[in-house]
Copies of this chain bind each other. A is one copy, B any other.
Amino acid sequence: MNFDLELSCQVLARTPPTLDALLDGLPDLWTRGVEGPDTFSPFDVVGHLIDGEETDWIPRARIILVRGPNPVFEPYDRFRHRVRNAGRTLPSLLEEFARLRGENLALLRSWDLTPADLELPGTHPSLGRVTLRQLLASWVVHDLGHLAQVARVMAKQLRQEVGPWEPFLPVLTDHETPRS
């Protein structure tokens, strides 16, 4: 599939309701479990996606669109959510994520980006030169990767309970070594 702004927005708009359908109202046993040390629980993933709305995707798109002489992105803090969301509930994070995503998509659509805009460059602090098109495609992939992670981490909470079925359920042994 080639990148297409409208096709991408369709998926970006679905992430909050998908996470609501999967997680909102579930007990902590499902939403606070992890798959190993220093990995994200479903609760952590929602916090990380909020961080992305506030500090990553749209802020970086703005840096590109300003067309300044030195469009370098701020480094992204993958653990900002840990302090930010101490004491928060998952329903309140899901609501906040949906609101932020809605605002960011409205802003993105309001820019009415042209094909030429999508080729504008920015500088990633470790990856170097990237384009707005690559940034927006990565936003979509990042959402879907974390949705897959939420489902995988939930599945692993029952790993000890499936008995002989384990080899038929590859999700239980995906990412034995953390990959993100």
Binding site for B on A (CB under 8 A): 1-3, 7-8, 10-11, 14, 17-18, 20-22, 26-27, 29-30, 33, 124, 127-131, 133-134, 137-138, 140-142, 144-145, 147-149, 151-152, 154-155, 157-159, 161-165, 168-172, 174-175, 179-180
Which of chain B's residues have a CB closer than 8 A to the CB of A2? 161
Within the assembled complex, what's the spacing in Å between the Cα atoms of A180 and B174? 11
Q: Which of B7, B131, B171 contacts A163 (CB 8 A)?
A: B131
Known A21-B18, A21-B21, A174-B174; judge A145-B169 contact (CB<8 A).
Answer: yes
- Decide yes or no: A144 and B134 within 8 Å by CB, A27-B7, A179-B170 being known contacts: no
